[in-house]
Structure 1
Amino acid sequence: MAQTNSPSQSTPAAWARWTPFAIIGLIAVAAFVTYPQWEPSARPWLAKILPVTAGETEKGEEKHEEAGHAAHGSSDSIELSLQGRKNIGLTDEFIKPVKLQPFTKSIRVPGIVVERPGRSVIEVTAPFTGVVTRIYPTEGEALEPGRKLFDLRLTHEDLVQSQADLLQTTAEQEVTDKEITRLEKLAADGTVPGKRLLDLKYEKDKSDAVLRARRQALILHGLSEAQVNAIVQKRELFKEMTVTVDNVAADGKRSPSGGLFQVQSIKVSQGQQVDAGDTLAVLADHAELYIEGEAFERDVADLNRVAERQAPIAAVLETDGDKGEIIENLHLLYLSTKVDPAKRTLDFYVTLPNQPQRDSKYEDGRRFIAWKYRPGQRVQLEIPLEVLPNRIVLPIDALAQDGTETYVFTPNGKGFERRSVHVEYRDPRHVVIANDGSVFPGDMVALTGAQQLQVAIKNKSGGAPDPHAGHSH
């Protein structure tokens, strides 16, 4: 008698037969859906185990070329010619590796280059009343110590009379000395009473006192000790005087240049009558200047800390047509003692060593100097606040801004790829990039031209369509 299978017995057998086909189907569907992700990495393995015909080889090369074009056409990369790099100043010296370094946060305050009060400018005045008989320098000329400035013919009545009195007293004293010498011999023989000799010696003491007073009077008039001695020795009145640089900078230590002065202006003409105290010329010593900074009251504490630590200050010299010259390693000299009540600002002063841009010497002995820094130039002073250790610091030109995104560019073959970064801090010269993996220490980065590269990428993405667009591997 035949037996029939029950439904409960046939169902497991049917599932066993169809399960492999179901699994294969699911794998095929998954492979199809994820094809763009796994195909590029699997292509080399497939190329080794699958036979390739000549036609397929050509097609593969075409696909590889298309993939290369697709890479060049990436929205985050741009390829530049050598000329294009030069046009934006992106030479090899401006492609450097990222490194961790300390960064000093700072604030900027305005400043202006000024002369040193009481030091930079010297007025040359006439020591006596007289007539200018000769002018030696020309305006703008640089003068070393010892150089002649003016010749004066003295016409001051008091000076002439003081010299005459000195000569008269000197002559009278010489007569007294001779008489004392003669009487001393006679007194020794008892021929002349000793009282007369004693009276003459008293007269000589009085004459010495008068002579010293007359010498001091001439020195107070402006003559030197050597000039007074010359009057006594030569028995001639001092008729002319030469005013020299030594008269106004006798120590030769007014500045690091050793007392080198420029003639800013000449105030007299040859043959002009001048009185004692009249200005003959104005000399300037610009070998060292000051920068007068202007800070708000809230910045006073920071300035005091800078002064205590002797922390270096940087100045950015404002110039036309470029970003300004950076002057580093300057030091705060002192703070003003009062706050401007109208502007609520406090002035402070920073020393500025100067340097000549041009130093020309001529055969006739004249010398002209052009200084690099001049009073009146505007600067921005960077006052250091705190030091941040181990930061990724880049110049401001290494960063491109596009809306809320900021980018840096890394070289890749002939092109550059942009990387989105987070900016922790920025000032007018530097940016601090977060060390979050966007860029790593050692990565090569373009230090300039970032904004131009960003514009080029945007122009490329908005230009004519790429003939290879749409190919994805």
Structure 2
Amino acid sequence: MRPNLSKLPWAAIRIVMSVVIVVAVGLSYSLWWPPLSGWIDTTLSAQRTASAANENGHAADDAPESGVAEVTSLELTPQARMNLGLTPEFLTPIELSNYRRSITVPAVVVAKPGRSSIVVSSPLNGVVTHVHAVTGEAVQPGDLLFEVRLTYEDLVETQTAYLKTISELEVENREIVRLEEATRSGAISGKQLLERRYAKEKLEAFAKSQREALRLHGLSDRQIEAIGRDGKLLGDLKIVAPDVDSHAQDDELRLSQIAAHPVSFTQSLDTPLPKAHSSEQKLLVIDDLRIHKGQAITSGERLCSLSDYTQLFIEGKAFENDVTAIAEAAQQGWTVDAVFSGSTGQQVVRGLNLAFVSNSIHPESRTLSLFVELPNEMVRDKTNAEGQRFVAWKYRLGQRLELRIPVEEWENQIVLPIDAVVKEGADWFVFQQNGKHFTRVPVHVRHRDQRTVVIANDGSIYPGDVIARKAAHQMQMAIKNQSGGAIDPHAGHAH
């Protein structure tokens, strides 16, 4: 009798079916196990190979292969622009300009020979009665520096002899007038009148020679005439500041009758300065003051020196190999840039004229000297309660700097600051502004130095495009960060 499965409980049916399946799998083991084992081994091996390749070659995978899209544009908020220093002056359209490739040479500020220094000497012997100047004070041509009482015997004797001759001439003239009247009336003969006229001619000849002697001592015609007119000897000498450009101050000695403006004088601060202190005149600084009141001085003795700092020279020292390039720059009339370094950074003075280039090379250092004109600027001008004026100049003798001398000129070039480009591998990039976005654009750098780069005008960027002229390195770091790549702290720096 066959069992009725429909009447068996469901649990018993599951047990029977499980036993049947286990028996069937065991009987067919040799048929299905080898293929399944091979498939499992192949799959595991492929997964291990892919994992190793991903670990070793992850840095070389391109963004599209890794599934991450490369970012080439950056949106900057107004605050971000200010943080990067992208003010309107650093977001300007490209303009074609001429680029001059330059060489840098060390230099120093020096005096202008024959112009920057003036020596004041005593023209005659005497004793200093007053010193109006102080060391470091600023004066102008015509200002009174020293007063001297003359002790020069030859000058005193010549003045005395000339004054005596002038007096004798006056007596002879009166006598001649009297004799002429007497001769016309017949009271005396004409012989006496003729003798007086001969005596007058002799006195006139003496007076002429004495006037020439006084001129040799430094007196002018006006001063000599004053001696004869006033009958007084000139005993006090006033020494004033000379003029660098004009010799009008040196045409005559400043003797006792000549008015001169003293350098130092006491006045209230409300009193206007005399006309001599007009800003239109040159200022001379008193250096090396060597005399004092009561000191006896001799003719030709140095009293002080005055320095004119309004125009100086920069002396550059170029190497012997740069002689040809510097000569070409001088021939072309190209201007020179001076770079001063200080605590606040570098200051560049542009457009200086190359005055001349030395015709000889220093035998020991093998350097060539070149001289550049440097107009100076006054940075301080103060007058104290005693009327003494002190000034300070921007550029000082002995100050060290660098000169940038152009040696080659390229016309119609795209010239940008060095901070406007960034290097990534073999590529150079600039950032072009498109509204709020800054797009990274690859460019070809033809030439670069420490300050500027020359970009090839090959169509990557055009004149008129607005380019960020600084912070290219920071924007490149931001793009790398957005792309998900590791940030290289040295990216964009060329070592």
Structures share a fold, TM > 0.5? yes
- Taking a change above 3 Å as real, the CA distance of residues 191 and 298 of structure 1, as seen in their structure-2 partners, is farther
Offset of 1:113 from its aligned partner? Answer: 2.0
Q: Residue 369 of structure 1 aligns to a residue in which SS?
A: strand
Match of 2:240 in 1: 244
Q: CA deviation at 1:94?
A: 0.7
Instruction: Give the distance between the partners of 1:168 and 1:378, measured in 2 at CA.
Output: 63
- The correspondence for 1:328, drawn from 342, 350, 370, is 350
Q: Indicate the structure (1 or 2) with the bigger Cα radius of gyration.
A: 2
TM-score normalised to structure 2 length:
0.69
Closer/same/farther in 2, CA of residues 242 and 402 from structure 1, 3 Å limit: farther
Alignment partner for residue 398 of structure 1, among 415, 420, 438? Answer: 420
The CA deviation at 1:258 is 4.1
TM-score, scaled to structure 1? 0.72
Distance 2:450 2:180 in 1: 92
* Number of the residue aligned with 1:291: 314
Distance change >3 Å, CA 92–CA 155, structure 1 → 2? same
Q: Partners of 2:284 and 2:237 in 1: how far apart?
A: 21
Percent of residue pairs bearing the same amino acid type: 43
Residues 1:175 and 2:171 are matched in the alignment: yes
Change (3 A) 1:249 1:224: farther
| Structure 1 position 226 matched with structure 2 position 222 | yes
Summarize deviations over 1:31-73 as a string: whole Å, max 9, x none: xxxxxxxxxxxxxxxxxxxxxxxxxxxxxxxxxxxxxxx9x99
Query: Within 2, Cα distance between the matches of 1:395 and 1:101?
Result: 13
1:199 and 1:425 map into 2 onto residues whose CA distance is 98
Structure 2 partner of 1:128? 124
Deviation at 1:422, TM superposition (A): 2.4
| SS of residue in 1 equivalent to 2:124 | coil
Contact 2:135/2:288 (8 A) holds in 1: yes
> AA paired with 2:361?
V
1:229-268 deviation per Cα after TM superposition (whole angstroms, max 9, x unaligned): 3332222222211111247764479xx9644322234222
Describe the shift of the 1:164–1:97 C-alpha distance in structure 2 as closer, same or farther (beyond 3 A). Answer: same
Contact 2:149 2:235 in 1 (8 A): yes
Q: Supply the AA of the counterpart residue of 1:339.
A: I
**1:43 — aligned with what?**
none
Q: Return the letter of the residue paired with 1:410.
A: Q
Q: CA deviation at 1:441?
A: 2.5
Deviation at 1:434, TM superposition (A): 1.4
Shift of 1:391: 1.1
Q: Is the 8 Å Cα contact of residues 409 and 419 (structure 1) preserved in structure 2?
A: yes
Segments of structure 2 that go 5 or more residues without pairing to the other structure are 1-65, 250-278, 488-495
User: Any stretches of 5+ residues in structure 1 without a counterpart?
Assistant: 1-69, 466-473
* Residues 1:274 and 2:270 are matched in the alignment: no
Do 1:140 and 1:262's aligned partners in 2 also have CA atoms closer than 8 Å?
Answer: yes
- Aligned to 1:379, which of 387, 398, 401? 401
Q: Which moved more, 1:359-368 or 1:148-157?
A: 359-368
Moved over 6 A (4+): 458-465
Count matched residues: 393
Determine which of 171, 176, 183 is the counterpart of 1:187.
183
> By how many angstroms is 1:331 displaced?
2.0
Once the two structures are TM-superposed, the CA of residue 93 in structure 1 deviates from its matched residue by 1.8
Give the aligned partner of residue 140 of structure 2. 144
Which amino acid letter does the alignment assign opposite residue 167 of structure 1? L
Tell me how far 1:394 sits from its aligned partner. 0.6
**Which residue of 111, 114, 121 corresponds with 2:107?**
111
Structure 1 residues 190 and 129 mapped into 2: Cα distance closer, same or farther (>3 Å)? same
Output the CA distance in 1 between the equivalents of 2:169 and 2:486. 111
Q: Decide whether aligned partners of structure 1 residues 333 and 281 sit closer, same or farther in structure 2, where only a CA change above 3 A counts.
A: same
Q: Choose the corresponding residue for 1:368, options 387, 390, 393.
A: 390
**Distance across 2 between alignment mates of 1:352 and 1:248:** 18
Partner of 2:150: 154
Deviation at 1:153, TM superposition (A): 1.5
Alpha-carbon deviation of 1:322?
A: 4.9
Displacement of 1:117: 0.8
Partner-residue secondary structure (3-state), 1:197: helix
Structure 1's 266 and 79: CA in aligned 2 closer, same or farther, altered over 3 A? farther
In the alignment, which residue of structure 1 is the partner of 2:370?
A: 348
Task: Give the conservation status (yes or no) of the 8 Å contact 1:313–1:382.
Answer: no
Give, in whole Å, the separation in 1 of the partners of 2:191 and 2:359. 70
Change beyond 3 A, Cα 1:436–1:237: same
Residue aligning to 1:201: 197
Query: What's the C-alpha RMSD, in Å, of the aligned pairs?
Result: 3.4
The structural deviation recorded for 1:87 is: 4.5
SS at match of 1:222: coil
